[in-house]
Amino acid sequence: MSSDTSPAGLDAQLRPLVRDVPDFPKPGILFRDLTPLMRDPASWDLVLAGLKQRLSHLKPELIVGIEARGFLVGHTLAVSMGLGFVPVRKPGKLPGPVDAVEYDLEYGSDRLEIVQGSLEGGPRVLVIDDLLATGGTAAACAQLVQQAGGVLCGFGFVIELTALEGRSRLTDGVPVEALIQY
């Protein structure tokens, strides 16, 4: 495995380790599975190196990861950058008082929560998730970060599904990085 962390180099090395799963979780959806990528330590190191290289200039003070795969990416990235990590979860999964934001889905709504006080003092926050699709969850997380007192400094993803235009739903002027684009 090469250590080329240029955009083209990373894409060429990582894309073969993303498994396509047709009709999951429902018919018509092509799921991009990162499990084979996470199984390979050298490739996962490349993911972290690529994200770190593209996002360090934003000078984050904390990383927020979105449940659940965002925990895997966000926490390992936070440790590699020497930063703290804060989870954002679905309702009823965090102890104590929480700040929350409701957001619309294609068919219904959902809610994200963060423990109150997690972003005390206005830290620069980097939002991390495994995949950017329609952007609804990442946009809601950004709103929650700001509502909880954080300063949103950027978004990072392993994969972006560009045809779904999720980037357009994210906060204007806030940098967005993705290692692999489909």
Residues serving a catalytic function are 69, 106
Answer for the pair 141, 90: CB distance below 8 angstroms, yes or no.
Answer: no
Taking residue 81's Cβ as centre, other Cβ atoms within 10 Å add up to 17
Selection from 113, 94, 95, 93 nearest residue 103 by Cα: 113
Structure tokens at 34: 């990162």
Sequence length of the chain is: 182
Answer for the pair 141, 66: CB distance below 8 angstroms, yes or no.
Answer: yes
CA angle 68, 36, 79 (to 5 degrees): 50
Cα gap 80→177, rounded to integer Å? 17
